[in-house]
């Protein structure tokens, strides 16, 4: 019974969520687009000509927003490169290169390197989150693992002066994750967009300038 009530409460909140309605109105696949929009508008992250990699990109709302920011004023094509990676399939988005697979695997990295053509990313985005078990220590470990993957990816594939944005949760090993970011980046900022639900412990970390980039 409690679970049914929880599901009904979530559904009620979701249907009446202004960002859900706004996403539908503006053609975004998920309300998460507005989280990235807020972060981008305050931090001036996305600029024409950039190479942007979106980790865990499905269903694609971050890639949609990024594409709109890189779109030419004439409406044709984009000025820049967007590459999305996810283990789940994603419906195509115009001008977004999508690779389905695990970015730790050689086959996926070969495809990625072919698209990068020797370039490094200006910006790496990760809205990845683990499937939750309800066991706090296990969930914290899973979250930290995903952040580690995003950090390792950035070390190898991002420009030294680039930026990484990752999703975290304040109640999932956040202190350790924040310390890792401070070790890896010159500047680190915590961002809680208005589009992130108040009752959620969700927060985003922005790291700029790798201290020890991989050659």
Q: Is 95 annotated as a binding residue?
A: no
Q: Is 10 annotated as a binding residue?
A: no
Catalytic, 47? Answer: no
Q: Is 84 annotated as a binding residue?
A: no
Rounded Cα distance between 81 and 65, Å, is 13
Q: Is the peptide bond before 133 cis (omega within 30 degrees of 0)?
A: no
Q: Is 207 annotated as a binding residue?
A: no
Instruction: Find the catalytic residue in 37, 69, 159, 167.
Output: 167
Rounded Cα distance between 77 and 96, Å, is 10
Q: Is 127 annotated as a binding residue?
A: yes
Tell me the two tokens of residue 53: 């990699």
Could you count the other beta carbons within 10 Å of the beta carbon of residue 120?
A: 17
Dihedral over Cα of 174, 180, 182, 187: its sign = negative
Which residues are documented as binding site? 60, 62, 86, 102, 127
> What are the catalytic residues?
167
Which residues are documented as binding site for S-adenosyl-L-methionine? 60, 62, 86, 102, 127
């Amino acid at each position: 019974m409690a679970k049914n009530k929880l599901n009904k409460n979530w559904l009620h909140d979701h249907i009446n969520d202004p960002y859900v309605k706004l996403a539908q109105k503006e053609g975004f696949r998920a309300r998460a687009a507005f989280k990235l929009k807020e972060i981008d508008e305050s931090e001036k992250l996305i600029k024409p000509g950039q190479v942007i990699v979106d980790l865990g990109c499905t269903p694609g709302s971050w890639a949609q927003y990024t594409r709109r920011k890189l779109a030419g004023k004439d409406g044709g094509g984009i000025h820049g490169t967007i590459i999305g990676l996810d283990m789940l399939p994603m419906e195509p988005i115009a001008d977004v290169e999508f690779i389905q697979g695990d970015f730790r695997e050689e086959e996926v990295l070969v495809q990625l390197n072919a698209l990068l053509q020797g370039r490094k990313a200006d910006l790496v985005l990760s809205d990845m989150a683990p499937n939750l078990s309800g066991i706090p220590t296990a969930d914290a470990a899973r979250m930290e693992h995903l952040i580690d993957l995003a950090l390792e990816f950035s070390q190898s594939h991002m420009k030294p002066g680039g930026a990484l944005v990752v999703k975290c949760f304040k109640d999932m090993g956040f202190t350790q994750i924040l310390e890792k970011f401070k070790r890896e980046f010159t500047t680190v900022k915590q961002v809680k967009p208005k589009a992130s639900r108040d009752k959620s412990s969700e927060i985003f970390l922005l790291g700029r300038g790798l201290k020890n980039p991989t050659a």
